[in-house]
């Protein structure tokens, strides 16, 4: 996949929010979140570091997972 700087920046920001709101507060683990998205923990960390960006399919799953977390509080 071609690296998309805009997508990478968006995903990094989104994951920063997820980490602060859910992972740091022990509401969910990185492994649980990765499972919700259908990727590995390593992939979540790679996205968070900006090493690569999710595919279109992974991006859709990421947004659904975020929406599910937000609806649960």
What global pTM score does this model have? Answer: 0.81
Domain that holds residue 28: 5-72
CATH number at residue 39: 1.10.260.40
Q: How many domains does the chain divide into?
A: 1
pLDDT of residue 53: 85
Tokens of 32: 């649980």
Percentage of residues in the chain having pLDDT higher than 90: 36
- Residue environment code for 13-35, b if the CB has 16+ CB neighbours within 10 A, otherwise e: ebbeebeeebbeeeebebeebbe
Residue range 47-56: mean pLDDT, rounded: 88
Task: Tally DSSP H helices, then E strands, for the chain.
Answer: 4, 0
**How much is the mean pLDDT over the chain?**
88
Tokens of 33: 């979140």
Spatial separation of the C-alpha atoms in residues 36 and 6, rounded to whole Å: 23
Give the pLDDT confidence of 25-51 residue by residue, as tens digits.
Answer: 888 999 999 999 999 999 999 998 888
């Amino acid at each position: 996949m071609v690296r998309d700087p805009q997508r990478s920046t968006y995903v990094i920001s989104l994951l920063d929010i997820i980490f602060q709101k859910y992972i740091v507060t022990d509401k969910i683990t990185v492994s649980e979140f990765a499972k919700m998205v259908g990727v590995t923990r390593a992939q979540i960390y790679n996205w968070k570091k900006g090493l690569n960006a999710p595919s279109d399919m992974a991006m859709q799953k990421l947004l659904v997972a975020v929406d599910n977390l937000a609806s649960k509080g």
